[in-house]
Amino acid sequence: MLVRDFIDDSLYNPNYGYFSKQAIIFSPQNHFDFSNIKDNLEFMNIVASKYKEFEISLDDKDKKVTKQLWHTSTELFKPWYGYAFAKYIVNEYKLGGNPQHDLIIYELGAGNGTLMLNILDYIQKFEPAIYKKTRYRVVEISSMLAERQRSIQNFQQVVNVHNCVEIINKSIFDWNETIKDPCFFLACEVFDNFAHDVIRYNFSSEKPVQGIVVANDEGEYEEIYEPVNDPLIIRYLSLRNRTMYKTPALQNRLLRSLRNKLPLAPNLTQPEFIPTKLLLFLDILKDCFPKHRLVISDFYKLPDSIQGIDAPVVQTRYQQTMVPCSTYMVHPGWFDIFFPTNFELLKDIYQLVCRSSRAESEKIKVLQQKEFLKRYSDLTKTQTKSGENPMLMYYENVKFLLS
């Protein structure tokens, strides 16, 4: 199968996919009181201790199955991280100049539902008039996480009466309803798990070939290449050619020419991972959510990635230790496979697909997470006694795209 189909199956297969069965997001029971924490080092130690306790409790509950655990900015810095999203959304809603329409928010892949709850808490507390017109819809592909969000919502209704939430348990790629109302569309650390395709280029002709995953006679996975014929890959490369992007795989033509003359020299460049599934998502935004405003946060670079351009990190958790891998061709369902996002290229592709006019394209912004938080969060809430601010120091490899 195509590489994107192999990765998509590994992550999202309803019977054995990583997000269907194994994934658990670390969520501290209470938010941290940063005013009583000495400095960033003490905060790191507190997080590590709570993380360890959480891991041990998981292992004690099910010794036969190794659950996959990770943490996010939303969970570590709740509710203040979510409040920053809420403040941005409310500000933009007010600036829209059309206050008679409802504030409609879609969130893709909401995890534990923490961001949803923090955003609604903020709007309810600080913007009660807008809260009455707020509708919040979660699109969640994972049945397990969708059920968890429903249970959190039931609990929260007792406390804050957030009865404006709808959890839609389906893949965004199966969406077929047109939403004509203006809406905000959130995706926080979601794009990194969108499946990619792999291409390489012929050193001489510079023509791309597409990667295919096959199983050999021993049942091991192997990668083979064929001329590009997949319509989605062709379309993505065609769109990318209309931008200023130049693939690093084809830089330095002189060096490649000299390399070709060496005996037993490879005839293909290093692999390049391209976000074809992301292009499908942009198509759905354009066709089904024509009046959307996009709010995206994700990684733009990652350590310990496998070989290749824009290559993913592939890892699994075993006996409370994270184990990195050197290939994406691993046993489906047991490994997280997540990619960096080239935000500058994404901005250009997004503009070509979803925003045709020049005036619209000028409103698309890419920001470092630190810059976004400085604008929209109350930094006093996450400042330690030393003056250090862990919320600004963690996840420095994250960017935002706002449209």
Per-residue pLDDT reduced to its tens digit, 8-52: 999 988 888 888 766 677 677 788 999 999 999 999 999 888 877
Q: How many CB atoms lie within 10 A of CB 205?
A: 8
Q: What mean pLDDT is predicted for residues 90-101?
A: 85
Could you tell me which residues come within 8 angstroms of residue 110 by beta carbon, excluding any fewer than 6 positions away? 116, 138, 140, 145, 149
Domain 3-196+274-402 belongs to what architecture?
Answer: 3-Layer(aba) Sandwich (3.40)
The ranges assigned to domains in the chain are: 3-196+274-402
Q: For 265, which DSSP code?
A: -
CA separation for the pair 137, 110 (Å, rounded): 10
Per-residue pLDDT reduced to its tens digit, 255-291: 666 666 666 667 889 999 999 999 999 999 999 999 9
CA separation for the pair 362, 370 (Å, rounded): 22
Q: For 307, which DSSP code?
A: S
- Mean predicted lDDT score pLDDT of the chain: 87
CA separation for the pair 394, 184 (Å, rounded): 26
pTM for the structure as a whole = 0.90
Please report, for residues 2, 91, 121, 140, 212, the alpha-carbon distance to residue 347 in angstroms, rounded to integers and kept in the order given.
26, 22, 31, 24, 28
CA separation for the pair 400, 189 (Å, rounded): 10
pLDDT band at 349 (very low <50, low <70, confident <90, very high): very high
Per-residue pLDDT reduced to its tens digit, 124-174: 999 999 999 999 998 987 666 666 656 655 445 434 568 888 888 888 999
Q: What is the largest CA-CA distance in the chain?
A: 73
Please compute Rg for the chain using Cα positions.
22
Does residue 43 come out as left (phi exceeding 0), alpha (psi in the -120 to 50 range) or beta?
alpha
Per-residue pLDDT reduced to its tens digit, 293-326: 999 999 999 999 999 999 999 998 877 778 899 9
Per-residue pLDDT reduced to its tens digit, 208-259: 999 999 999 998 999 999 999 999 999 999 999 999 999 998 887 666 666 6
CA separation for the pair 162, 136 (Å, rounded): 9
Q: Which of 308, 328, 302 lies closest to 316, judged by CA?
A: 328
Could you tell me which residues come within 8 angstroms of residue 278 by beta carbon, excluding any fewer than 6 positions away? 191, 194, 341, 346
Q: Which of 113, 9, 5, 11 lies closest to 338, judged by CA?
A: 11
